[in-house]
Structure 1
Amino acid sequence: MDTAMRRNRGVEEGRRAAKKVLIVYAHQSSGSFNAAAKDAAVKVLTAQGCTVEVSDLYAMKFKATATAEDITGEVKNAKHFQYAEETKLAWEAGKLSADITEEQRKLTEADLIIFQFPMYWFTVPAIMKGWMDRVLTLGFAYSPEKRYSQGVFKDKKAMLSFSTGAHESMFSATGINGDMNVTLWPLQNGILHYCGFQVLAPQIFWAPSFIPTEARGTMLEGWRTRLQGLLGEAPLSFTPMDCFDREKGFQLKPEVCEKHAAKEFGPTVGTHLGKPLPPNNQMKAGV
Structure 2
Amino acid sequence: MSYPSFTKTYHHSFYPAISPSRPELSVKDKTVIVTGAGDGSIGGTVALSFARAGAKKIALIARTETSLEATKAKIAEAFPDAEVMVVTADVSRAESVGMAAHSIRAGLGAWDVFAHCAAVAPTHTTIAGADEDEWWHAFEINTRFSSHFAKHFLPKCRPGATYIGTNAGACYLPATKFPKSSAYCASKLATAKLDEFLAAENPQLRVFTVHPGVVETNMTKGFIGSRRSGVVLDDAELVGDFMVWLVSPESEFLRGRYVWCNWDVEEMIAKKAEIENNPTLLTMTLGGWPFQ
TM-score for the superposition, normalised by structure 2: 0.48
Q: Which has the larger radius of gyration?
A: 1
